[in-house]
Structure 1
Amino acid sequence: MEDREDLGGISDCAYNKLDSQEELTTEEQEFFSNQQKQKVSVSLMIPKSSLSRYHQLIILAVFAVILLAVDIGLGVYYNKLTSGQRIFTDMNNELAKLQASYTTATQRKTEANKLLAKEMSEQQLTMWELEHQSRATKDFERRTNKIRLETAALKSHMPMIKEGCRHCLPGWTYMFSMCYYFALSDDVLRRSWQEARNFCMRYGADLAVVDTREKHLAISELITNYYDTSRNIYQSGFWIGLRDVEYEGTWKWLDGTSLAAGYWNDGEPNNQGNEDCAAAYPRSNPFKSWNDAPCNHGLKWICEMTAKTQS
């Protein structure tokens, strides 16, 4: 009941207020009028505020869409970055593997090169040793051949030496009823033509006079059998008693007789460098065995003297 009375009072009051508006003064009417306008303004602004909130919601929605798009874009970009990073990592791993393989291959190559160098060094040593052995074998063969030839020469020479023991001095050879000395030994120093003649004359002999075919062939065979092929042939000549010191080109034996038939090599005598003395050389063709040579040249020699009569 009290509530109703209160409500009634309030309504009566409001009603009274409305009824009493006519009794308000002019100022009060203006104040009341202003309040009514404010109420109207507030009532008109309510829809505008709702519109602003709608716009805000739209803007927020747009922002949300943009943010979503950006987020999606960033996600895609991050995905790409992650994928690129993964690819880069894979590439780095592959590069590391390749580098490790290259390092291993380089080490193996270095080791292979060292092994190859060692093998080549050993091969070179083997080749040098083979060359040394080959040279030693050739030297041995040369010595063997020399000994064989000297043995054969001695065998052919022995009868002349044996016979010479009865008719000639020791070491001299008996041929054609004459005694001959051949400076065959390497221990005998080479001499000039005049020094060689002086040697012969000390024994009552002289340089050999080779004035017959038979004598020349026998002498040529003997010096050829003893020839050392490893020596230069121009150092292996033997002085004989023939020269052209009186008249160039007029060759005479030491007994004063002129040369009738010579056994000169092709192009000899040529007097090249004042060559006035003759020497016999160990050539396979005995008819081309003589050369003229400078008389001061050092060569071996052949002495000749009359044999002793048998007592």
Structure 2
Amino acid sequence: MCAPHRLVVLTLGLLNVVLLLAAAVIGIYCAKANDFQIPDSDVAPIIAEMNNLRDNGEIIEAKEEAQAALARERAAHLLLKTQIKEKLAVTDVLQRDIETLQREKKILQANKTALEGSCGWCLPGWRLLKSRCYYFTNNIPSLRKNWNDSRADCVSRGGDLAVINDSEEQKLLNENFVRRLGLVWWQSGSWVGARESPTEGTWVWVNNGKMVNSTLWRIGQPSQSGVQRGSCVGFYYSNHEGKTLYNANCQQHFLNWICEMEQKRT
């Protein structure tokens, strides 16, 4: 065999030896690797822990989202409370303004009669109600008078005891009548210009002779018995606006009185 051929054979032989050695080394390492393989029973807890960590991560993320949403809701709640507080403050201001206006309205209403009187339609101390002037006496007991003296006072002032011509006038007097406490109701009334005529049971207005409308009497009036019995007519406030008249003794009973006169420029 020539030299070149021997060299090729020798080279191939060396390669075979190297391959055998490499295979032996790989086999040894594989055997050792098998010795170090982790059993499935040992891997399961690790996998479970990894899954738990992943689940915890989702929970933490959900918790953070919930906390963020709660923070937004709190901020919105605080904003709403601030807005409500501001509106309440505005409402309080408006309520105070309303109360002030109501007080001013009452003052203006109280002064209305005086203002109208100052324009010259009625004498000082008289009230202008629609187109007539009325004078209401006060409630000082010592100044009360019987019916005759009350009428004389009205005449001295240029008028006469009030005569109720219709339901509208009766309503005006009822609305402007000052109710007084502490006495029997009929003792707190005021004389008006009506009395019983000589024909018993007939009641007339003294300035025109017209009969008193029966619908104006209070329930149970006129009374023909007891201490209230009498032939003159008094007026007292009633929740039933059409029923304000009652009778009393012309001379023995002392009441306030209501005068009336036509309006005029003074």
TM-score by length of 2: 0.54
Secondary structure at 1:220's aligned position in 2? helix
**Residue number in structure 2 paired with 1:269:** 222
Deviations along 1:253-296, whole A, 9 cap, x unmatched? 12222223542111111222651111111233223321111111
Q: Deviations over 1:98-150 (max 9, x none)?
A: xxxxxxxxxxxxxxxxxxxxxxxxxxxxxxxxxxxxxxxxxxxxxxxxxxxxx
* Cα pair distance change 1:154/1:299, threshold 3 Å: farther
Separation in structure 2 between the aligned mates of residue 213 and residue 188 of structure 1, nearest angstrom: 32
Q: Which structure is higher in helix share? A: 1
**8 Å contact kept, 2:196–2:204:** yes
Q: Following the alignment from structure 1 to structure 2, what is the Cα–Cα distance between the partners of residues 191 and 233?
A: 17
The structural deviation recorded for 1:219 is 0.5
The structure 1 residue matched to 2:211, chosen from 243, 258, 270, is 258
CA deviation after TM superposition for structure 1 residue 162, in Å: 1.7
Question: Which residue in 1 is equivalent to 2:265?
Answer: 309
Look up the match of 1:216.
170
Match of 1:233 in 2: 185
Task: Point out the structure with max Rg over C-alpha.
Answer: 1
Q: 1:283 to 1:152 in 2, by over 3 A?
A: farther
CA RMSD of aligned residues (A): 2.4
- Alpha-carbon offset, residue 207 of structure 1: 0.2
Gaps of 5+ in 1: 1-150
Per the TM alignment, residue 185 of structure 1 is displaced from its structure 2 partner at its CA by 4.3
1:203 deviates by 1.3
| Residues 1:247 and 2:199 are matched in the alignment | yes
* Partner SS state of residue 286, structure 1: coil
CA contact (8 A) 2:217 2:244 kept: yes
- What amino acid is aligned across from residue 213 of structure 2 in structure 1? A
Gaps of 5+ in 2: 1-103
Q: Choose between structure 1 and 2 for higher RCO, CA contacts under 8 A separated by at least 6 residues.
A: 2
What is the CA–CA distance in structure 1 between the aligned matches of 2:197 and 2:185, rounded to whole Å? 25
Give 3-state SS (helix, strand or coil) of 2:143's partner.
coil
What secondary structure, in the 3-state scheme, does the structure 1 residue paired with 2:216 have?
coil
Aligned residues between the structures: 158
Q: What are the Cα deviations for residues 200-243 of structure 1, in whole angstroms up to 9, with x where unaligned?
A: 010111000011111111111111xx213333312211101011
Determine if contact 1:168/1:307 at 8 Å carries over to the other structure. Answer: yes
Is contact 1:242–1:252 with CA below 8 Å preserved after alignment?
yes
Relative distance call for 1:299 and 1:309 in structure 2 (3 A) is same
- 2: CA distance, partners of 1:153 / 1:294: 37
Instruction: Provide the residue aligned with 2:242 in structure 1.
Output: 287
Task: Give the equivalent residue in structure 1 for 2:112.
Answer: 159
CA 1:155 to 1:286, structure 2 compared with 1: closer, same or farther past 3 Å?
farther
**What secondary structure does 2:149 align onto?**
helix
Give distance in 2, aligned partners of 1:152 and 1:180. 23
TM-score, normalising length: structure 1: 0.47
Q: Give 1:156 deviation, angstroms.
A: 3.6
Identity of aligned residues (%): 34
Structure 2 distance, partners of 1:186, 1:152, is: 28
Counterpart amino acid of 1:259?
V
Contact 2:190 / 2:257 at 8 angstroms: preserved in 1?
Answer: yes
- 1:181 pairs, out of 130, 135, 145, with 135
Asked if the contact 1:153/1:222 (under 8 Å) is kept, the reply is no
